Amino acid sequence: MKIDLHCHSTCSDGTYEPLDVINRAHAAGIDVLALTDHDTLQGIEAASAAANDLGMTLISGVEISCEHELSGGYGKNKSTNKIIHVLGLDFTDHATMQDTLQALQHSRATRGQQMTQKLSQLLDIDYETLWHAICKKAGDNPQAVGRAHIGQVLYEEGYVKTVQQAFDKYLADNKPAYVAIEAISMVDAIALIHRCGGKAVLAHPTRYQLSATRVRKLISEFAELGGDACELPANSEPVSTRAMVDRSIAEHKLAVSTGSDFHGSNMPWRRLGDVPKLHPMQEGIWQRFTAFS
């Protein structure tokens, strides 16, 4: 089976509608897909019906923004607060999950407005004009606004030369237009996923701007808090990075998950179905899914 357990639609910060994501996944030969929009289940029902019509298996998914304090450094860097993403996969209690995440959805709209306000001052742009363009990019859904939408608008309007430059200059953590997102703790997110009948997966552990030591610490703490699996690094990452994550996964007896983190045209380098292969002795988290039990 070809499996991709991490992708996004216009229900969060992707550029394609859920039905389009399903059609593209089918065209890419994917058999099992999880739609994992940020802090919302809005697209799952429509995506599930479309996947069923095409003979695909859609796994219930969501990517939850969590606040977590990592320890293990020295001096002033002894601890650091980070927003960590945890995937909830194969859960059955959609109502409880959606109700709990509703506050986070509201905070995304507020955050988008706050970042837009900062940018309007930094770049001397009319706030209303900029916010309208950003909302339009997010499918006229303020709750779906993410940094990728904002970066795309800045690029299209000529304020930066690339979307990546928008992040590097304005939107990345601690940059001038950055606003932290309201989040639940990682331990509470893991508990929520389990309470809803799902599996908790640490998403892209090497993309949080952490040292190798702290990446290993993050995987260790995720396992200690009851997490089920760790997502493998993308194929584009160094072999040494994959080896480090593999060792940590084995040490803490976690299952593994694979996903493209597909967003669409705003991140064209992430392609549906482009996922790393498991090494011998690694257990795919999908082997624990109810759909395959």
- CATH classification of the domain holding 201: 3.20.20.140
Residue 27 inside a domain? The answer is yes
Residue 292 lies in a domain: no
Model confidence at 157: pLDDT above 60? yes
Maximum Cα–Cα distance for the chain, whole Å? 57
Amino acid at 45: E
pTM greater than the 0.75 cutoff: yes
In a domain, 293, yes or no: no
Q: Which residues on adjacent β-strands are paired with residue 63?
A: 38, 87
Question: Tens of pLDDT along 205-241?
Answer: 999 989 999 999 999 999 999 999 999 999 999 999 9
Per-residue pLDDT for 74 more than 60? no
What is the tally of structural domains in the chain? 1
Sign of CA dihedral 91, 95, 96, 97: positive
Does residue 110 belong to any structural domain of this protein?
Answer: yes
Residues 6+ apart with CB under 8 A from 115: 147, 150, 171, 177, 178, 179
- Is residue 209 a part of any domain in this protein? yes
- Give the domain range for residue 166: 3-287
Report d(CA 208, CA 22) in Å as an integer: 28
> What tokens appear for 152 in the block?
């795309």
Residue 159, domain member (yes or no): yes
> Is there a domain that residue 17 lies in?
yes
**Domain presence at residue 228:** yes
Query: Does the pLDDT value for residue 99 go beyond 60?
Result: yes
Whether 64 has a pLDDT exceeding 90, the answer reads yes
